[in-house]
């Protein structure tokens, strides 16, 4: 089979479609990723109502719209692999909805920190997984993570401004960051326990290399470090 | 002064910037148009929560995101003309917010009809006004109206489906369409009464041609006819 550098639209040319176990795992991954974007849209659109100014509202709403804009290509890849995008998302709705239910911001600042920290954490995690994907899927996943740095810069600026004026806020927001990380890990574990196929993407299979326990540990260390970097970018302890 | 077919970025090359009365009117127009898009985003994002299925929710959320995506170029043109985009929107917030307050859908179907009819009516109106704009502004305004036909087709299909199953709904939705038109006219008149500069865009000025009363009347007839066409596309009386 000749591998093309162009995204293949016919399953016959697509190595991911040839291995049913891998194919199902990829459809799972694209399902959780795209439902994550849809629910991020909903949360950010809602949280934008807490904005103190019209400028702030538009900035967060624009982040919301950007999340939704990523869904199409993920759904397209699911369909190319013979899956149904909406069926693929269904198994992950509870975990992701629970994450948002447990991390509903109580004010505009918490919403901002959540937008920045939550999005960053998810991006880091999916970028780690991308290393184990076939080239076509990897390209689509990585493109969906491409963060428009401008929006993140807006959050960093706003949060730092507020903390400069009222440094006492930094304690509360640092705790909030820890809670976001904790909830994300809780729900990620829940998904990992429920969906063996997804876990197998990371840990490998009979004829597919993967991470051993030590490597998995190092991956989590990297994710935690990058989370700490992001918190300190906001001027917050992690 | 040489007129360029490329959008001019320097005021010196931009005929709209040379006439302060016209410039202020254009800034007003871009202000009301862009605040309309922002509030359409908010309403559609909210209304998408009423969706009976995840597919429907994503379809309406995608319409919401598309509205927001149009704001940037409108704000860019305001800034090019020396205006402040947020100051330009401020005078129109009450009228547009009132429109939405008086036309909050009570269910998913009313939300769908509002998305289709409201967006269509606004597009028709701004397209009429576009004829009186300088080429640079006209191009930006018309581009911001370009409807992604796919979304509208989704609404038409859904509404027709529902009416086919339960024809009694068509009476209620036809009334709802009339209410949307009535509220839109009420708020448009309010804006026209408050902002002479905007009215002058249509009626002309000392050295700018415009519509006389008869031509204005014909314009409203066209808007009403197109509204009726849209309602009948949905399978509804107007």
- pLDDT per residue as tens digits for the range B192-201: 888 888 888 8
pLDDT at A195 (0 to 100): 86
Mean pLDDT of chain A: 88
**Mean local confidence (pLDDT), A17-24:** 87
Under an 8 A CB cutoff, do B68 and A54 touch? no
Select from A41, A54, A61 the Cβ nearest to the Cβ of B86: A54
pLDDT at B147 (0 to 100): 65
pLDDT at A200 (0 to 100): 84
- Would you call A64 an interface residue with chain B, using a CB distance cutoff of 8 Å? yes
Asked if pLDDT for residue B80 goes beyond 90, the answer is yes
Kindly report, residue by residue over A52-87, the tens digit of the pLDDT: 999 999 999 999 999 999 999 999 999 999 999 999
Do B60 and B40 contact (CB within 8 A), yes or no? Answer: no
Asked if pLDDT for residue B59 goes beyond 70, the answer is yes
Largest Cα–Cα distance in chain B? 62
Q: Which of B167, B160, B180 is nearest to B40 (CA)?
A: B180
Q: Which of B101, B106, B103, B86 is nearest to B38 (CA)?
A: B86
Asked if pLDDT for residue A228 goes beyond 50, the answer is yes
pLDDT at B198 (0 to 100): 85
Under an 8 A CB cutoff, do A57 and B49 touch? no
User: Which chain A residues have a beta carbon less than 8 Å from that of B57?
Assistant: 38
Asked if pLDDT for residue B127 goes beyond 60, the answer is yes
pLDDT at B99 (0 to 100): 94
Under an 8 A CB cutoff, do A68 and B69 touch? no
Under an 8 A CB cutoff, do B71 and A58 touch? yes
pLDDT at A105 (0 to 100): 95
Kindly report, residue by residue over B164-179, the tens digit of the pLDDT: 999 999 999 999 999 9
Mean pLDDT of chain B: 88
pLDDT at A104 (0 to 100): 94
Q: Which of B169, B152, B94, B132 is nearest to B16 (CA)?
A: B132
Q: How far is A205 from chain B (nearest CA, A)?
A: 33
- pTM for the full model? 0.85
Chosen from A31, A36, A65 to mutate, greatest number of chain B CBs within 10 A: A65
Q: Please state the φ and ψ torsions of residue A209, each to the nearest 5 degrees.
A: -70, 155
Question: Hey, where are the domains in chain B?
Answer: 15-233
**Mean local confidence (pLDDT), B45-65:** 93
Chosen from A34, A52, A68, A89 to mutate, greatest number of chain B CBs within 10 A: A68
pLDDT at B149 (0 to 100): 58
3-state secondary structure chain B: CCCCCCCCCCHHHCHHHHCHHHHHHHHHHHHHHHHHHHHHHHHHHHHHHHCCCHHHHHHHHHHHHHHHHCHHHHHHHHHHCCCCHHHHHHHHHHHHHHHHHHCCCCCHHHHHHHHHHHHHHHHHHHHHHHCCCCHHHHHHHHHHHCCCHHHHHHHHHHHHHHHHHCCCHHHHHHHHHHHHHHHHHHHHHHHHHHCHHHHHHHHCECCECCCCHHHHHHHHHHHHHHHHHHHHHCCCCC
- Would you call A91 an interface residue with chain B, using a CB distance cutoff of 8 Å? no
User: Which chain A residues have a beta carbon less than 8 Å from that of B96?
Assistant: none
Chosen from B61, B84, B86 to mutate, greatest number of chain A CBs within 10 A: B61
pLDDT at B4 (0 to 100): 45
Asked if pLDDT for residue B107 goes beyond 90, the answer is yes
Kindly report, residue by residue over A103-159, the tens digit of the pLDDT: 999 999 999 999 999 989 999 989 999 988 999 999 999 998 876 656 788 899 999
Write out the two tokens for B19. 């006439």
Select from B58, B64, B86 the Cβ nearest to the Cβ of A71: B58
| Across A50-64, A66-80, B203-217, B218-232, least confident range | B203-217
Residue B8 banded pLDDT, cuts 50, 70, 90: very low
Q: Please state the φ and ψ torsions of residue A90, each to the nearest 5 degrees.
A: -50, -45
- Would you call A42 an interface residue with chain B, using a CB distance cutoff of 8 Å? yes
pLDDT at A148 (0 to 100): 60
Q: How far is B211 from chain A (nearest CA, A)?
A: 35
Kindly report, residue by residue over A157-200, the tens digit of the pLDDT: 999 999 999 999 999 999 999 999 999 988 888 888 888 888 88
- Would you call B52 an interface residue with chain A, using a CB distance cutoff of 8 Å? no
- Would you call B222 an interface residue with chain A, using a CB distance cutoff of 8 Å? no
Asked if pLDDT for residue B184 goes beyond 70, the answer is yes
Under an 8 A CB cutoff, do B42 and A49 touch? yes
**Mean local confidence (pLDDT), B204-226:** 84
Any idea which fold B15-233 has?
Answer: Ferritin (1.20.1260)
Q: Which residues of A208-231 are buried (b: 16+ CB within 10 A; e: fewer)?
A: eeebeeeeeeebeeebeebbeebb
Under an 8 A CB cutoff, do A86 and B54 touch? yes
- Closest residue in B to A61 (Cα–Cα): B68
| Four-CA torsion A111, A112, A113, A116, nearest 10 degrees | 120
- Closest residue in B to A37 (Cα–Cα): B58
Residue A205 forms beta bridges with which residues? A208
Asked if pLDDT for residue B2 goes beyond 50, the answer is no
């Amino acid at each position: 089979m000749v591998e093309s550098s162009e995204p293949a639209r016919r399953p016959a040319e697509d190595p991911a479609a040839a291995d049913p176990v891998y194919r199902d795992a990829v459809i799972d991954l694209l399902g959780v990723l795209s439902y994550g974007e849809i629910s991020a849209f909903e949360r950010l659109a809602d949280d934008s109502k807490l904005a103190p100014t019209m400028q702030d509202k538009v900035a967060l709403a624009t982040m919301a719209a950007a999340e939704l804009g990523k869904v199409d290509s993920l759904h397209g890849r699911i369909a190319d692999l013979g899956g149904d995008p909406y069926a693929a998302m269904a198994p992950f709705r509870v975990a992701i909805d629970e994450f948002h239910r447990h991390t509903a911001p109580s004010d505009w600042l918490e919403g901002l920190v959540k937008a920045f920290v939550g999005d960053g954490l998810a991006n880091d995690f999916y970028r780690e997984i991308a290393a184990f994907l076939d080239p076509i899927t990897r390209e689509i996943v990585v493109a969906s993570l491409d963060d428009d740095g401008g929006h993140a810069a807006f959050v960093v600026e706003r949060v730092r401004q507020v903390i400069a004026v009222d440094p006492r806020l930094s304690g509360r927001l640092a705790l909030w960051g820890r809670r976001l990380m904790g909830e994300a890990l809780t729900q990620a574990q829940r998904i990992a326990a429920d969906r063996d196929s997804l876990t197998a993407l990371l840990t490998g299979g009979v004829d597919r290399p993967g991470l051993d326990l030590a490597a998995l540990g190092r991956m989590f260390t990297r994710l935690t470090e990058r989370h700490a970097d992001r918190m300190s970018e906001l001027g917050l302890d992690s």
